[in-house]
Amino acid sequence: MKLLAKKVFKLKKTKRTICVVAASRKLGVTHISLAIANFLASVQKQKVLYVEVSAKSQLISTVGQSMDTIHGKRVFKYKGVYYLLAASIKEAMEVMTFEEFIIIYDLEDYNTKTDVIVSRCEVRLAIGSMKPWCEKDYHSFVHKLKGDIEEVRFFNKGNSQDEKRKFKKIYKTHLESLPFIDNPFSLKETEFECIYKLVE
């Protein structure tokens, strides 16, 4: 499997900055961000910096045991991934210049302030739900996005073909199903391909 993984899942090195954002909270931004970070570090053997853009860290109790420093910034290292936790927008923008890393941005919220990060990322992943009780939030989120929405990949919590067709009819762009990842800190080989496709 190792030889196959190297051949099939070879990531383009040009895509250094990846952001994950959602229409509302509790849609899996952190879960997917962690899966991508750990895939790139463990399978791709890349140097990965995970940036949690949030007022308060949700990850400190899990990844905050081993402290390190990168270019004068205090970070934590866990299972081969470096973590900058509870980062301000200013800090998040500063580390974008750390060219030796692939940088994963886990964005707590999307707004006019965090758009400065989203607009500069090479891979932009947006999560929402087209379920009737969540659909309004997703539409509001898409309308707030600045720039060309064709530069964003949209994901749905669920696999409804009707929801995908409805989204495409409105926005003229595809709505993909968000892949299910069991444990982002302990990835299965069967999950490699779907994570690779998120960032290829």
Residue 154's CB: how many other CB atoms inside 10 A? Answer: 25
6 within some domain: no
Number of structural domains found in the chain: 1
Q: Are 112 and 105 in contact (CB under 8 A)?
A: no
48 within some domain: yes
4 within some domain: no
Quote the tokens at residue 186. Answer: 């302990």
> Domain range for residue 36?
14-199
**pTM of this structure:** 0.92
1 within some domain: no
- Type of residue at 61: S
pLDDT greater at residue 174 or residue 1: 174
pLDDT per residue as tens digits for the range 124-167: 999 999 999 999 999 999 998 866 788 999 999 988 999 999 99
Calpha distance 22→1 (Å, rounded)? 33
CB-based contacts of 91-96 (< 8 A; 24+ apart in sequence)? 91/51, 92/51, 92/53, 92/117, 93/117, 93/120, 95/49, 95/51, 95/70, 95/71, 96/17, 96/120
Please check the confidence at residue 5 and state whether its pLDDT lies above 60: no
Please check the confidence at residue 4 and state whether its pLDDT lies above 50: no
